[in-house]
């Protein structure tokens, strides 16, 4: 068995028992990246030398009997919108940050290092995390490991594809409107958006600050639990990170949640859903029923009809403000052919940002402008409150909410690039959890007849990640989906 077939928890155990070294684990991942990543393009940059050095140091510390941490020797990938100070670039897949090197580590990167992880590289994304396919990267699209003609989802498509193709066992992503859960679904892996405030965003390049949240990818629920435990917790440098204690998410993971009332929103099976996705997700719900859960029909009246519209006002407004800092002076790219200072700002931004980012800045600037503010931004905040209330009412009756993560399986490269609205609709089931600031996970629940993975989304109330993971694990234990590898991995073996 190759080291890349092991989950993070298995690597952890093997390293603890001295059956495997951190150097062997890192070399295994670097070899897999060398072999498969030219086709998948999950990574924007790798750090083989730094990774090897770090792995060797961890082996030395383990040999000296030190307690190295939760992730001792485990190779990890990090989405390239999180700052790393070790000389690796942090680009956000944008030309405007081309070659930029962050002067400090993001909180989550500090946490990974403190727990002994080996960061092997930075993964591709839609520019500034704006997109659902990873095609909006200034450095080329990532491909779906299950079918190289299709997208991996986005915006954390690089992290999802890297985990699906077994280039790394676990990876970090960020989720503003679905960017962890949707690519997890399209790539057949586990991806979780924790509650807003659960993981510090210090050093995460801001897209929409009231929505952004960092979370884990893994092939199994336990691996996601491990990575969440290592990265969650209060950090005074992110004023929205909460002081709630971080439970040991692995402890009790095997205990089923009983009784379990599952809310099934009518709106999550509405027009636009692919029939294969619907039937596979309904089969997953039947598995829970067999496990003793009760399915409760519910309604989230504001959540599906208005969530996309609300999200694209709130997210673009915040983005237009956050992205004002890229002026050609403070960071990265500066146009060389300018006449005066204003012209330099304008040309740097015009040349540095891609089309989707410009579209968002224009939409957000419009929604915030005086005269339109009340009609758009203020209205969106009011609807956001109603969406939150839908969930509050639902959680008074049920323990969790389930439905599809994405209305369709992975689509073809280029299929939606000319139609922004079609692209935005990829997130119709995921954005409301961000608007309501609650927790959500996507777990693999089957395949289409053509062999594309399908994800089941499970949503729970704020700061109930432990219960959410246990609910996800109940299903995973009954089914074998997480064991299946994409053909490209089997062929390479």
| Other residues' Cβ atoms within 10 Å of the Cβ of residue 268 | 25
Q: Say how far apart CA 72 and CA 42 lie, in whole Å.
A: 24
In the complex with ligand GLN, which residue's Cβ is closer, 427 or 465?
427
How far from 450 is each of 189, 245, 383, 385, 446, CA to CA, in Å?
17, 44, 39, 40, 11
Q: Of the ranges 34-42, 98-106, 128-136, 363-371, which one interacts with ligand GLN (CB under 6 A)?
A: 128-136
Identify whether 179 is a catalytic site residue.
yes
Q: At what angle do helices 221-231 and 8-16 cross, to 10 degrees?
A: 70
Which tokens is 360 given? 């968002």
DSSP 61-118: HHHTT----TTTT-EEEEETTB---SS----TT-GGGTT---SS--HHHHHHHHTT-E
- Distance, CA of 421 to CA of 435 (rounded, Å): 19
Question: Which lies closer to ligand GLN via its Cβ, residue 81 or residue 84?
Answer: 81
Q: Closest distance between ligand GLN and the C-beta of residue 192, in Å?
A: 13
- If binding is defined by CB under 6 A, does position 129 make contact with ligand GLN? yes
177 binds ligand GLN (CB under 6 A): yes
Return the range that interacts with ligand GLN (CB under 6 A); candidates 38-46, 127-135, 218-226, 275-283: 127-135
Q: 22-50 burial string, b = 16+ CB within 10 Å, else e?
A: bbbbbbbbbebbeebbeebbbbbebbeeb
Look-up: residue for tokens 């030395």?
A: 60
Closer Cβ to ligand GLN, 71 or 363, answer by number: 363
Among 267, 390, 427, 465, binds ligand GLN (CB under 6 A): 427
CA angle 132, 138, 142 (to 5 degrees): 50
Query: Is 80 a residue that touches ligand GLN (CB under 6 A)?
Result: no
CA 316 from chain centre, in angstroms, equals 19
Smallest separation, CB 435 to ligand GLN (Å) = 12
Residue 132 sits in the site that holds ligand GLN (CB under 6 A) = yes
Contact window for ligand GLN (CB under 6 A) among 72-80, 125-133, 336-344, 448-456: 125-133
How far apart CA 299 and CA 362 sit, in angstroms, is: 34
Choices 170-178, 221-229, 343-351, 438-446; region in contact with ligand GLN by CB under 6 A:
170-178
Question: Binding to ligand GLN (CB under 6 A): which residues in 407-426?
Answer: none
Q: Does 173 interact with ligand GLN (rule: CB under 6 A)?
A: no
Nearest-approach distance from CB 191 to ligand GLN, in angstroms: 11
Of the two residues 107 and 193, which places its CB atom closer to ligand GLN in the complex?
A: 193
Candidates 123-131, 245-253, 330-338, 370-378; binding stretch for ligand GLN (CB under 6 A): 123-131
How does strand 439-447 pair with strand 190-193? antiparallel
With CB under 6 A, what is the number of residues at the site for ligand GLN?
Answer: 13
> What is the footprint of ligand GLN within residues 195-224 (CB under 6 A)?
207
Closer to ligand GLN at the Cβ: 315 or 471?
A: 315
Q: Is 121 helix (H, G, I), strand (E, B) or coil?
A: strand
Structure tokens at 395: 């959680």
Question: Is residue 130 a contact point for ligand GLN (CB under 6 A)?
Answer: yes
Contacts with ligand GLN by CB under 6 A lie at 129-132, 155, 175-179, 207, 315, 427
């Amino acid at each position: 068995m190759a080291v890349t077939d092991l989950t993070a928890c298995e690597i952890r155990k093997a390293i603890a028992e001295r059956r495997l070294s951190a150097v062997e684990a890192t070399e295994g991942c670097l070899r897999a990246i060398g072999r498969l990543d030219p086709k998948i393009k999950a990574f924007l940059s790798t750090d083989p030398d730094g990774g090897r050095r770090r792995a060797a140091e961890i082996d030395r510390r383990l040999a000296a009997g030190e307690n190295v941490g939760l992730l001792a020797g485990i190779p990890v990938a990090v989405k390239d919108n999180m700052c790393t100070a070790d000389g690796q670039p942090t680009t956000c897949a944008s030309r405007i940050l081309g070659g930029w090197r962050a002067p400090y580590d993001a909180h989550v990167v500090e946490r990974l290092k403190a727990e002994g992880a080996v960061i092997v590289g930075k993964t591709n994304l839609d520019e500034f995390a704006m997109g659902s396919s990873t095609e909006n990267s200034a450095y080329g699209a990532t491909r779906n490991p299950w079918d190289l003609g299709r997208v991996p989802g986005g915006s954390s498509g690089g992290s999802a594809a890297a985990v699906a193709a077994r280039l790394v066992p676990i990876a970090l992503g960020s989720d503003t409107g679905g960017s962890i859960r949707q690519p997890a679904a399209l790539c057949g892996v586990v991806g979780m958006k924790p509650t807003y405030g659960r993981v510090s965003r210090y050093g995460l390049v801001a897209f929409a600050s009231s929505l952004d949240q960092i979370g884990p990818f893994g092939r199994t629920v336990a691996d996601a639990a491990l990575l969440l435990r290592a990265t969650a917790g209060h950090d005074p440098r992110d004023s929205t990170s909460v002081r709630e204690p971080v439970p040991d998410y692995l402890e009790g993971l095997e205990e089923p949640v009983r009784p379990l009332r599952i809310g099934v929103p009518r709106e999550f099976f509405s027009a636009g859903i692919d029939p294969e996705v619907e039937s596979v997700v309904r089969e997953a719900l039947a598995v829970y029923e067999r496990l003793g859960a009760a399915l409760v029909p519910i309604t989230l009246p504001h959540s599906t009809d208005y969530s996309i519209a609300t999200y694209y006002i709130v997210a673009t407004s915040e983005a237009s403000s956050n992205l004002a800092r890229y002026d050609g002076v403070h960071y990265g790219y500066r146009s060389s052919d300018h006449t005066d200072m204003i012209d330099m700002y304008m040309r740097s931004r015009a040349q540095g940002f891609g089309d989707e980012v410009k579209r968002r800045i224009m939409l957000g600037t419009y929604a915030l402008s005086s005269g339109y503010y009340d009609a758009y931004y203020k209205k969106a905040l009011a609807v956001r409150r109603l969406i939150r209330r839908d969930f509050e009412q639902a959680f008074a009756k049920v323990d969790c909410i389930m439905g599809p993560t994405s209305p369709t399986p992975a689509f073809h490269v280029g299929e939606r690039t000319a139609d922004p609205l079609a692209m935005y609709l990829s997130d119709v089931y995921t954005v409301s959890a961000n608007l309501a600031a609650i927790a959500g996970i996507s777990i693999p629940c089957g395949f289409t007849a053509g062999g594309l993975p399908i994800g089941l989304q499970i949503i729970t109330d704020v700061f109930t990640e432990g219960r959410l993971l246990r609910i996800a694990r109940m299903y995973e234990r009954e089914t074998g989906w997480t064991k299946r590898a994409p053909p490209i991995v089997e062929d390479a073996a």
